[in-house]
Structure 1
Amino acid sequence: MTIVKRYTLTCATANEGALRAALDRLARAVGVIEGCERVEIERHETRCEMLFAERWRDEQAMRASAGAIDKAALQDVLRLADDIGSDIYTVLC
């Protein structure tokens, strides 16, 4: 069953470009992890807010990815984001 993990990230306007670059690096790192089917980055139209979505083959692959993630790329994102919320969804169709 396909799983999507979504992170909503907010940041100061001054950090938006740097956060986008950090998310791009993280997306490339996550995208090559076994079981990852796709990574998307979306930007809100009017707020300084981005959505980072990882699509995983199944829950087991998503959980296993924690040990394989590029910690330096993740630290850049954590440093630049003011707030991060996350949710996990199951793809129904």
Structure 2
Amino acid sequence: MKVWILNLEHPDQPLDIEVRELMYDAATGAFSMSRPIGDDWLQRIVRIQEPRPELFHQSQQKTVVVFDSGAVASEFLTWLKAADAEADHGFKTMRG
């Protein structure tokens, strides 16, 4: 899934990344990804995002996340990279 991360401070400097999946719960401000460990498919990597994004839009082919600040957008990108690597490792532990 392609994720575009934009910020209102520098709208001309978008960040992007390709990740396995990304889910967002607007009620809690939690971003998450699946991380199976062995046969346990219920594990999740979760980040409660503060400040919350100004906009989150997801379609089948892309996700757009907009933050107020460039620093927050960069921190979110750093988390996405680490979470995707952790999720990838988890998928490699699957049995069967």
TM-score by length of 1: 0.37
Relative contact order, higher structure (CA 8 A, sep 6+):
1
- TM-score of the superposition, structure 2-length normalised? 0.36
